[in-house]
Amino acid sequence: MAKILIIDDDPDFTLANKAILEAAGHEVITASDGKAGLESVKSQDPDLIILDIMMDSIFEGFSVTTTLRGTPEYMDYRDIPVLMVSAVKKMTGERFEIPPEAKIAEGDEFLDKPFTAEVLLSKVNKLLGA
């Protein structure tokens, strides 16, 4: 199937979703922060990235996406689909609003945490074109 990179600082989230994705036949690699995630993009060349928005900083996920899509160093990887995930709606009742001039920071799809295995696999399959 596909090689999927999960970038998230919550080890419980990472382990649970790794198990779901591996049970569906995917290879899963993980990184616990944006810097390690970007290094994994280069070394592993994943087919899909699942990216938490809030890690060390509140907007770290947006930073990763902007770097991935907007810097020459990552030109070969900028078309990797990105599924952004966040618990901000559960915590605040609202989602992040991205202004039009910052659309480069936006992922291809979004999921509010928590979500079910079925919803995750549906989004993954959609992004992988399955």
Task: Name the strand (E) or helix (H) holding 89.
Answer: helix 88-92
89 pLDDT band, cuts 50/70/90, is: very low
**Domain count across the chain:** 1
Reduce the secondary structure of 50-78 to three states and give it as a string: EEECCCCCCCHHHHHHHHHHHCHHHHHHC
pTM listed for this prediction: 0.90
Question: What pLDDT, on the 0 to 100 scale, is given for residue 91?
Answer: 54
Q: What is the dihedral of CA 92, 95, 101, 102, to 10 degrees?
A: 90
Q: Is the pLDDT of residue 105 over 90?
A: no
Residue-wise pLDDT for 15-35, tens only, equals 999 999 999 999 999 999 999
Whole-angstrom CA distances from 7 to 29, 79, 85 are 9, 17, 10
Domain assignment of residue 95, given as a range: 3-128
3-state class of 117 per DSSP?
A: helix
Mean pLDDT along residues 54-72: 90
CATH number of the domain to which 109 belongs: 3.40.50.2300
Q: Is the pLDDT of residue 70 over 80?
A: yes
